[in-house]
Amino acid sequence: MWTETDNKLYRKFEFANFSEAFAFMTRVAIEAEKMDHHPLWTNVWNKVEIWLSTHDAGDIVTEKDKKLAERINKLL
């Protein structure tokens, strides 16, 4: 689940392999672009870490971040 720390929503995802992780990232990227709301993220092989905050609001967690987090949950 997502946790809120340092004014960011954070969640770590683990997949079977790199292909699964990258396929997930592709789905997230499409959703993020639709919302014009983009994640800070890292990927190492089968792991994806995502931090969500709203830069335009001064790098704090807003409804936009919560909405994107919910949409990401549904992509799993």
From the list 24, 73, 14, 72, the residue with the least C-alpha distance to 46 is 14
Binding flag, residue 6, ligand H2B (CB under 6 A):
no
Pull the structure tokens for residue 34. 């639709």
| Rounded-to-integer distance, Cα 27 and Cα 59, Å | 24
Spatial CB neighbours of 27, under 8 Å, sequence gap ≥ 6: 75
**Interface pick for ligand H2B out of 31, 49, 54, 71 (rule CB under 6 A):** 54
Stretch that binds ligand H2B, among 8-16, 20-28, 43-51, 52-60 (CB under 6 A): 52-60
Residues 21-40 that bind ligand H2B (CB under 6 A): 36-38
Binding flag, residue 56, ligand H2B (CB under 6 A):
yes
CB-wise, 43 or 54, nearer to ligand H2B? Answer: 54
